[in-house]
Every structure is written in C-alpha cells, then in structure tokens.
A and B are shown apart, each in its own frame.
Chain A
Amino acid sequence: QSALTQPPSASGSPGQSVTISCTGTSSDVGSFNYVSWYQQYPGKAPKLIIYDVNQRPSGVPDRFSGSKSGNTASLTVSGLQAEDEADYYCSSYAGSNTWEVFGGGTKLTVL
C-alpha cells in the first residue's frame, strides 16, 4: 500500500481538463511544499513534470499545473492531448525519518 493515495484511473476527452488528486497526511504533503509529479509511459522511466507543488521543469508544457490544499495535492492537465495518456505518480518529501513517499499512480486515459 502506497503512502500517498491517488485514484487508480482518470479520463477525459481531447481538449478537456482533468485533475488527479494525491492525498497524504500532515506528516508529508501537509507539512512541506515539496510535492512532485511524474509522467510514465509503459516500459519507460518516469519523467518529472511538476516539482515544489507547482513548478514546471524546462520543456514541460504549461498545460500541466500543480496545486496543494492541506494534505491533498493535485495535478491538472488542461487541453488534453492523446500524448498525455500515461501513468502519473505523485511524490512528497516526508521529513527526516521517512524521507520520500510516492503515490500508487493514476492511469490517465484520453477518450
């Protein structure tokens, strides 16, 4: 069982927006602004798409955005495209005993 809770699946039609949630606790997501999101295609390594809750690395489209409220972080993908169909994982720093935790992943389907 993963430390962070994500819905197993999400879907949307091209051009629509979809939001994926990531629920942690006051010991991880709720305590630190260190939430990252990763995109993973089948058979490939994860790719960082959001860090520090809402920052995008260079080269990541601005269709991807992140936010946080309390113990829950969210990833929003706007203007869905076929290439956005992938698995998405959240991760959070969890302090100097647990260090890093991941969510179980959400499979995003573009209808």
Chain B
Amino acid sequence: QVQLQESGPGLVKPSQTLSLTCTVSGDSISSGGYYWSWIRQHPGKGLEWIAYIYHSGSTYCNPSLKSRVTMSVDTSNNQFSLKLSAVTAADTAVYYCARRDRTSGALFDYWGQGTLVTVSS
C-alpha cells in the first residue's frame, strides 16, 4: 500500500521560505514510473497544482509559482521536498503531496493527508 506523509512547520512568517517534505512508503521514488507532486488547497477553495519532480531531479512547475518554487528529491530516504520562497498570507493553504502517473496526465492516484501551513507574523 502506497502511503505519503507531509511534514514541516505549520507556521511561517511573511517573506520567509516555506519548506515541506513528503516521505513515501510502499513505493520507491527511484522506480521511475511516477512524478512526485505538490498540490495545495486554500481554505474553503479549490485545488491548485504547484509542481512535480521526477527521480532524476527534473522539475515541472505551475507557471504562476515557478519563480518561487524549488523542489528536490532524496532517493536514499525516499523523500521529496518543496521550498516556496517569499511567502505571503496568500500562500496559507493545506499542502498535499501526491503521486502522479507518468504515462497519463492529471492522474494523481495517491495523496498524503495534507498539512496546513499558515503564513502569519
């Protein structure tokens, strides 16, 4: 059974960098069949795709967030990470990590439970 678990600070100050890690179990990031993704949901709102990364390190980003997003992958610990710089209150959201099938599109088949990140001083 594939499981994903987000971890990271629940509170970030404005202008600082949000950092989250997703730990994957039940599958190997190195297997190559998937993109490893971050998706967020503003309170009471819809879903917004942020970015995904392949095990090689190739990263694909939402154009609206690209200038602030950095992703990395740690295959030895089966983890991948998100850094979002220069955050504002508009970045307050539940952040999900998810697995995206490489052979299809928009196919996020396993999700973490989500972690709420609040941007506030």
A-B interaction: yes
Interface positions of A (Cβ within 8 A of B): 2, 32, 34-36, 38, 44-48, 51-52, 57, 89, 91-93, 97-105
* Sample of 14 further A-B pairs with CB below 8 A, known A34-B104, A38-B47: A35-B106, A38-B108, A45-B113, A46-B108, A51-B106, A91-B108, A99-B49, A100-B100, A100-B105, A101-B49, A102-B39, A102-B46, A102-B48, A105-B47
Best-buried of A57, A93, A99 by chain B (most CB within 10 Å)? A99
A45-B96, A45-B114 known; A2 vs B109 contact (CB < 8 Å) = no
Give how many B residues have a beta carbon under 8 Å from the other chain's beta carbons: 24
Contact A34 B49 (CB under 8 A): no
A83 to chain B, nearest CB (A): 19
A66 to chain B, nearest CB (A): 12
A6 closest partner in B (C-beta): B46
B4 closest partner in A (C-beta): A45
A95 closest partner in B (C-beta): B105
- Enumerate 29 A-B pairs (CB-CB under 8 Å) in ascending A order: A34-B105, A38-B108, A44-B113, A45-B113, A46-B47, A46-B111, A48-B107, A48-B108, A51-B104, A51-B107, A52-B104, A57-B109, A89-B46, A89-B47, A91-B47, A91-B106, A91-B108, A92-B106, A93-B106, A99-B49, A99-B52, A99-B61, A100-B49, A100-B100, A101-B49, A102-B47, A103-B46, A104-B45, A104-B46
A44 to chain B, nearest CB (A): 8
Which residues of the partner chain B approach A92 to less than 8 Å between Cβ atoms? 105-106
Over the window 93-121 of chain B, the binary record of Cβ atoms lying under 8 Å from chain A Cβ atoms (1 yes, 0 no) is: 00010001100111111011110000000
Q: Which 5 A-B pairs have the closest CB atoms?
A: A93-B105, A34-B105, A45-B111, A91-B106, A100-B49
The reply to whether the CB of B63 lies closer than 8 angstroms to some CB of chain A is yes
Which residues of the partner chain A approach B112 to less than 8 Å between Cβ atoms? 45
Over the window 66-110 of chain B, the binary record of Cβ atoms lying under 8 Å from chain A Cβ atoms (1 yes, 0 no) is: 000000000000000000000000000000100011001111110
A90 closest partner in B (C-beta): B106
B117 to chain A, nearest CB (A): 15
A20 to chain B, nearest CB (A): 13
